Structure 1
Amino acid sequence: MALVRITHWIIVLSVLGLLVTGTGILVSHPRLYWGETGGVGTPSLIDLPIPFIIGPSVWNRPFHFLFAWVLVLTGLTYMVGSFITQHFRKDLLPAKADLRWNRIVGVVSDHLRWKRREADAASTYNVVQRLTYLAVVFGLFPAILWTGLAMSFGVTSVFPILATALGGHQSARTLHFACVVLLLLFVIVHILMLCLAGFWRSVRTMITG
Structure 2
Amino acid sequence: MAKPRKTLVYRHAGVTRATHWINVLALTLLLMSGLNIFGAHPALYWGQKSTFAHPWVSIGAEDKGDRMIGVIQIGSAKFDTTGVLGYSGKVGSREPVAFPSWATVPSFRDLADSRHWHFFFAWLFVINGLVYWLVGLAGGHIAKDLAPTGADLKPRNIWHEIVTHARLKFPKGEEARRYNVLQKGAYLAVVVVLLPLMVLTGLCMSPGFDAGAPWLVDFFGGRQSARTMHFLTATAIVGFILLHLFMVVASGTWNNIRSMITGRYAIVPELRDVP
Instruction: Give the shorter-chain TM-score range.
Output: over 0.9
* 8 A Cα contact 1:117 1:197, kept in partner: no
Name the residue aligned to 2:262: 208
Work out whether residues 122 and 197 of structure 1, in 8 Å CA contact, stay in contact via their aligned partners in 2. no
1:38 to 50, 58, 62: 50
Matched residue SS, 2:40: coil
Which structure has the greater CA radius of gyration?
A: 2
Greater shift, 28-37 or 119-128, is seen at 119-128
Q: Secondary structure at the match of 2:151?
A: helix
Does residue 20 of the first structure (1) align with residue 32 of the second (2)?
yes
Separation in 1, partners of 2:168, 2:191: 26
Picking from 211, 218, 222, the partner of 1:157 is 211
Question: Match for residue 137 of structure 1?
Answer: 191
TM-score (norm 2): 0.72
Post-superposition CA distance 1:22-72 (Å, at most 9, x none): 111112211101111216x43212113232649332211111011100000
- Looking at structure 2, the residues matched to 25 and 204 of structure 1 have their Cα atoms a distance apart, in angstroms, of 35
**When you count strand as a share of all residues, which structure comes out higher?**
2
Q: What is the rounded CA distance, in whole Å, between the counterparts of 1:34 and 1:116 in structure 2?
A: 42
Identity %: 38
**Separation in 2 of the partners of 1:56 and 1:96?**
51
Instruction: Tell me which moved more, 49-58 or 129-138.
Output: 49-58
Q: Answer with 132-141 or 77-86: which moved more.
A: 132-141
Q: Which amino acid aligns with 1:47?
A: S
For residues 120 and 37 of structure 2, what CA distance do their matches in structure 1 show? 14
Secondary structure of the 1:99 match is coil
Determine helix, strand or coil for the equivalent of 1:98. Answer: coil
Q: In the TM superposition, what is the alpha-carbon distance from 1:120 to its structure 2 partner?
A: 3.7
Where in structure 1 do 4 or more consecutive aligned residues deviate above 3 Å? 52-55
Distance in 1, Cα, partners of 2:58 & 2:222: 19
Q: Counterpart amino acid of 2:35?
A: T
Q: 1:124 matched to which residue of 2?
A: 178
Partner of 2:23: 11
Task: Evaluate the alpha carbon distance shift between residue 119 and residue 9 of structure 1 in structure 2; reply closer, same or farther with a 3 A threshold.
Answer: farther
Aligned length: 208
Give the distance between the partners of 1:180 and 1:196, measured in 2 at CA: 24
| Structure 1 counterpart of 2:270 | none
Gaps of 5+ in 2: 1-12, 60-71, 73-84, 87-95, 98-107, 264-275
Equivalents in 2 of 1:119, 1:183: separation in Å? 30
Once the 2 structures are TM-superposed, how far is the Cα of residue 109 of structure 1 from its aligned partner? 1.1
Aligned match of 1:174: 228
Going by fraction, where is helix more abundant, 1 or 2? 1
d(CA) in 1 for partners of 2:155, 2:44: 37
Residue 2 in 1 paired to residue 14 in 2?
yes
Distance 1:122 1:69 in 2: 35
| TM-score relative to the length of structure 1 | 0.94
